[in-house]
Structure 1
Amino acid sequence: MYLIQPWIDSTGHFFNRDNWYLERLNHEIVKQIITGIYVIFFGLWLASFKVEKLKLYRWQYGYMFFVSMIGSALVGLLKSQSAHACPWNMVHPTALSYVWDFTAKHGHCFPGGHASAGFILMTGYFVYRLEQPKRAYFYLISGILLGFMMGWAQMMRGAHFLSHNLWTGWVVWAVNILFYAVCIHRFEFEKRIKQELI
């Protein structure tokens, strides 16, 4: 609660709710850029069926795209079934200030869907950790930072509490751990194949 209080004015309104930078830049443009990255991975995966040079990386491209989409879709599914209200639906003005309504059931605000667009970049950590550790850590750190930055911007608008975004990060991480545990042998096999070809 303390982390979201600074973004509420004395009348109980989230004064950044319609802020251009938070709404347009963070909520739309950054998300579109990340979506573009995944469209590229999907395109590379499709091209790998025709382009011989890409064939060696087909597994990585496909894994990056499909596991990321599964993680993002799971967050979206959980959010669509959630009864948790958004902070901007829980604050009600009074004569002197405002009050929090913890019985609000407007729903569909948990976990934070927008932050998942950043957090799904963590999938790259699992894709590259065996073969390219530096690239793997780039994806891990980028995913964590972008997820928190995108989630924090939504907190400033009143769309989510910090806990919503923390759960989003956890769900995406758990999906990645699960798929990686199932696919670890395939990653090891792919690494051996590439080493033999070099």
Structure 2
Amino acid sequence: MPQLPTSTAVLPSIEGSRLGLAGRALLIPLLLVAAGSLVLMAGNGDQWIADQLYRWQGSQWAFKDAWWTSHLIHKGGRNLTWFAALLVVLALIRSNMDSRWRPLRRPLAYLLISVALSTGIVALLKSWTHMDCPWDLERYGGLRPFIGLFEHRPVAWGHAACFPAGHAGSGYAWVALFYFMLQVRPQWRWPALGAALLTGMVFGLAQQLRGAHFASHDLWALAISWLVATALYLWMFPLAASLSPSPSHAATGNAGETA
């Protein structure tokens, strides 16, 4: 097992300071989410996008039970994320048994905890917010009127659990791969982040086409996943320690400079 990089030369500039990372990786995304929420939720962007998808399918959710949305992307995607989590668990077990894998133990633990926390928080919020899916609404052939996030919901209308988006969240939870790779292979951090974002987007779009979610449901699933991944990374990997080169590397670097 190759040793993990310890040199400041291979660590990206984003790790310049704890305050800088927190500002860029927490504050900026929060501002973007707030702006997106204003457009989608307060500005009725959710309904506009859903209207286009609904009309495009002939004023019905034609893809609700389609094989490629319901079975391939929804059920198959769910199985894929469980399989990926199982691989992380197996790798973590090996890192506790094989000394060659020991440097991966903490990054793997981080990845597993982050994914579990993200999906768990999304699932918990779904049970608290009581928001309907588009396919349940009168506007899209359902039986219920639209109730906003902070509006009172009559008990007689029953339970609803569509915000944030659980399936898209199971894909977006893997944005933690960005920070995992930051510790293991920094040069792979952006491809890893791109793969996680693409997975979440595919999962989310398929559910929107089925009438299962509005766009803001996906946006908040992504926001929760990113904030959890960032906060956990800041807690588990103190930047001062990660930025300090090991004595052996420092000696090697000095010798190289002298030569």
Say whether the fold is shared (TM-score over 0.5).
yes
Cα distance change, pair 149–11 in 1 and its aligned pair in 2 (3 A):
closer
1:121 aligns with 2:174: yes
- The answer as to whether partners of 1:12 and 1:91 remain within 8 angstroms in 2 is no
Counterpart of 1:35? 82
TM-score, normalising length from structure 2?
A: 0.66
Counterpart of 1:81? 128
Between 17-26 and 135-144, report the one with greater CA deviation: 135-144
Aligned residues: 194
Shift in Å, 1:172: 0.6
- The answer as to whether partners of 1:7 and 1:15 remain within 8 angstroms in 2 is no
Between 131-140 and 4-13, report the one with greater CA deviation: 4-13
Shift in Å, 1:112: 0.1
Shift in Å, 1:12: 5.2
Shift in Å, 1:187: 9.0
Counterpart of 1:109? 162
1:63-82 alignment runs, 5 A limit = 63-82=110-129
- The answer as to whether partners of 2:92 and 2:109 remain within 8 angstroms in 1 is yes
Distance 1:64 1:192 in 2: 24
- The answer as to whether partners of 1:13 and 1:91 remain within 8 angstroms in 2 is no
Between 5-14 and 55-64, report the one with greater CA deviation: 5-14
- The answer as to whether partners of 1:68 and 1:121 remain within 8 angstroms in 2 is yes
Distance 1:93 1:112 in 2: 18
Runs ≥4 in structure 1, deviation > 6 angstroms? none
Shift in Å, 1:23: 0.4
SS for the counterpart of 1:16 is: coil
Q: Which amino acid in the other structure matches residue 196 of structure 2?
A: G
Structure of greater Rg: 2
Shift in Å, 1:133: 2.4
Using the aligned pairs only, state the percent identity: 22
Shift in Å, 1:17: 0.7
Shift in Å, 1:186: 7.2
SS for the counterpart of 2:49 is: coil
Counterpart of 2:102? 55
Q: Which amino acid in the other structure matches residue 138 of structure 2?
A: V
Distance 1:11 1:125 in 2: 40
Counterpart of 1:3? 49
SS for the counterpart of 1:60 is: helix
Distance 2:180 2:73 in 1: 26
Identify which of structures 1 and 2 has the higher relative contact order when contacts are C-alpha pairs closer than 8 Å and 6+ apart: 2
Counterpart of 1:168? 221
Counterpart of 2:44? none
Q: Which amino acid in the other structure matches residue 172 of structure 1?
A: S
Aligned counterpart for 2:199 among listed residues 143, 146, 159: 146
RMSD: 2.9
Distance 1:93 1:79 in 2: 21
Cα distance change, pair 51–57 in 1 and its aligned pair in 2 (3 A):
same
TM-score, normalising length from structure 1?
A: 0.85
Cα distance change, pair 55–170 in 1 and its aligned pair in 2 (3 A):
same
- The answer as to whether partners of 2:134 and 2:140 remain within 8 angstroms in 1 is no
1:136 aligns with 2:182: no
Counterpart of 1:14? 61
